[in-house]
Structure 1
């Protein structure tokens, strides 16, 4: 009689999202990832039907039922691709990175207040801003902002990290 191997401890949703984001970023940024696919992912528009590169990537790497939140996943994948070659740094929160790179409070206010299509657009603008500054950040923060049913915790974390690291305030 064989005994089943002990099960791994269940991951918390936050831990599993963090590991998924790490996997997605590492995959898109990998040297062997097709450059044409990476370029196609950069051009994604969450408001438009996805291209084949997205479908190929999504069905291989995104979690089951990603289709239920397609526009959010599209924005997430496009943003990661925009920030390649080094899009993801788990040790640098989004708020910290935005504060240190001079992202304005006005832009932050609009990003954190946005929902739906507007959030997707503003998040991709933030990704382009960071890419232009050659910066990397923890994409798990952005993932929570896009994917959580109640993103208030994600908004608070980004704002807290931004204001704790903003040099020219008061």
Structure 2
């Protein structure tokens, strides 16, 4: 079992990618990320916070309703356009493992439940389809732009 923290060495990333090593996230990391999430929620309840209580990009001045549970999912879907044959499983595992290590640094304000969920995906080898070419999409004010893969698309 490899315990993931923000300082997981590349040798362990390789082990996860090539040998499907089981993964868990350090309980101390989960606790720290959870505290940061609560602090972010408290802060954004007091002041507008880009992407959390407002829209993104051209919609940054638009308020997001408190009861809008779909806000994050819409954002993820809007940037989840890729093309090409799927990358090999070991490459996808490596990308997921690196993203998990990055998310183990508190401060992004994300819900800590994503950490054990990503660890479970790696352990169970439950991988998303990951085409290699980020898509092109039109931006309302600046025309076409490349979409950088920010995470796995929830629908393949």
TM-score by length of 2: 0.32
Larger relative contact order, structure 1 or 2 (CA cutoff 8 Å, min sep 6): 2
Q: Which has the higher helix share?
A: 1
TM-score by length of 1: 0.31
Q: Which has the higher strand share?
A: 2
